[in-house]
Amino acid sequence: MKEIVVSGIRPTGNLHLGNYFGAVKSFIEMQHNCQCYFFIADWHSLTTHPHPDNIRHNVKTILAEYLACGIDPATATIYVQSDVREVAELYLYLNMNAYLGELERVTSFKDKVRSQPDNVNAGLLTYPSLMAADIIVHKAAKVPVGKDQEQHVEMARKFARRFNTIYGVDYFVEPASYHLSETAVKVPGLDGSGKMGKSEGNAIYLVDDAETIRKKVMRAVTDAGPTVPNSPKSEAIANLFLLLNIVSDQTTCDYFNDQYNACTIRYGDLKKQLAEDISRFCTPIRERILELLKNDAYLDRIALQGAECARASAAKTLREVREIIGFRGN
């Protein structure tokens, strides 16, 4: 039997290079060897966006972007979280055995308490139990995500194990997070430090055109330049090199590394090359996104087909879970 893989992304904006190299690239590589469920986490987006402007539009955008990246609906199940209501039922059961102390200690919760003090809602606190429900409802073994999601997957493992212990069963699989490579887990931003992210306001989106990409890259933070041969790189420069490693070929990376080590590097040239290579990567994806967004009927069909398949898998789990807990199975 093929290994089961589950992952999702919240529809709170367009996909960026961090999403692509941190998560979506793994989806694409895993889809042919594993049984994959890739979904759009629209319920999760309510934890931070209580009045989602045009949720339908955001969901459609991510769906088109998933497909444009190369997720193949003929092999992977692509669906919208809110289409699978069984997940909400499992979330309820998991919440009964999720404790305030452990939920309050989750880093992402603590961050949100700081960043949105006026909206510390119960959904935010129980974000990890909903995410656990997403994962274990399909009995997934692997969860491709970026490094920032590791703690959530660890909670999913804990909740799966706890369910098995409480009910004396060996039912749920304990999932593990999956990263494609060490370098891809934290794609940096262009502002000198930290990761690329929507909320960080430093993202290059897959749908950005060449001119937008050029402007963003040319504005990237640099330093005064090396004066001593082979000196270590500042964080801002190391980040530019990390991005170059992700999108450019080895010869280009070696060339700029040598220039840096010889103190002859011109950051303007490095940025120009980086912008070109990012554009080369994004352009075909961007063209496919724009094409797909014109085809509402096709996107609706994919979502419907995905919902049916995901619902069948989730309904089977919930029937069994109800029996295990002691409710009627159907």
Q: Could you say whether residue 197 binds ligand TRP (CB under 6 A)?
A: no
- Going by C-alpha positions, the residue among 310, 31, 311, 14 that lies closest to residue 144 is 31
Taking CB under 6 A as the criterion, the residue among 13, 20, 30, 44 binding ligand TRP is 44
Question: Which listed residue (5, 40, 137, 143) binds ligand TRP by CB under 6 A?
Answer: 143
Beta bridge mates, 142: 5, 176
User: Closest by alpha carbon to 4, among 309, 302, 307, 299?
Assistant: 309
Which C-beta is closer to ligand ADP: that of 19 or that of 77?
A: 19
Cβ-closest position to ligand ADP: 22
Phi, psi for residue 201 in degrees, rounded to 5: 70, 25
Sign of CA dihedral 188, 45, 78, 172: positive
Phi then psi for residue 325, to 5 deg, are -70, -30
Q: Which of 25, 60, 112, 271 is catalytic?
A: 112
Rounded distance between C-alpha atoms, residue 290 and residue 313, angstroms:
32
C-alpha span between 171 and 165 (Å, rounded): 10
User: Considering only 6-14, 195-203, 269-277, 281-289, which stretch makes contact with ligand TRP by CB under 6 A?
Assistant: 6-14
Minimum Å gap between C-beta 186 and ligand ADP is: 5
Please pick, among 198, 233, 272, 316, the residue that the annotation labels catalytic: 198
Identified binder of ligand TRP from the candidate list 4, 10, 64, 286, rule CB under 6 A: 10
Nearer to ligand ADP, 9 or 173 (CB): 9
- Smallest gap from residue 36 Cβ to ligand ADP (A): 14
Q: For residue 249, give Cα distances in angstroms to 13, 96, 112, 145, 213.
A: 29, 51, 38, 25, 19
Does 8 sit near ligand TRP (CB under 6 A)?
A: yes
Residue with tokens 């539009």: 57
In the complex, least distance from residue 243 CB atom to ligand ADP, rounded to whole angstroms: 10
Is 142 a known active-site residue? no
Contact indicator for 172, 163 with CB cutoff of 8 Å: yes
Q: Which does 44 bind (CB under 5 to 8 A by kind): ligand ADP, ligand TRP, none?
A: ligand TRP
6 makes contact, choosing from ligand TRP, ligand ADP, none, with CB < 5 to 8 Å by partner type, with ligand TRP
List the structure tokens of 217. 């890259």
- SS3 of the chain: helix, strand, coil, percent, to 5: 60, 10, 35
Question: For residues 260 and 254, what is the distance between their CA atoms, to the nearest angstrom?
Answer: 10
Q: Which of 83, 89, 134, 208 binds ligand TRP (CB under 6 A)?
A: 134
143 binds, among ligand ADP, ligand TRP, none (CB under 5 to 8 A by kind): ligand TRP
d(C-alpha 7, C-alpha 134), whole Å: 8
131 near ligand TRP, rule: CB under 6 A: yes
Tell me the C-alpha distance between 24 and 224, whole Å.
35
Q: Quick one: what does residue 197 bind among ligand TRP, ligand ADP, none, with the CB cut-off 5 to 8 Å set by partner type? A: ligand ADP
144-173: contacts with ligand TRP (CB under 6 A): 145, 149, 152
Q: How far apart are CA 150 and CA 141, in angstroms?
A: 14
Interaction partner, residue 135 (ligand ADP, ligand TRP, none; CB < 5-8 Å by kind): ligand TRP
Residue 195 designated active-site? yes
Angstrom distance (rounded) from CA 208 to CA 216: 10
Question: Does residue 198 carry a catalytic annotation?
Answer: yes
Q: What residues are labeled active site?
A: 112, 195, 198
Residues forming contacts to ligand TRP in the complex (CB under 6 A) are 6-10, 41, 44, 131, 134-135, 143, 145, 149, 152
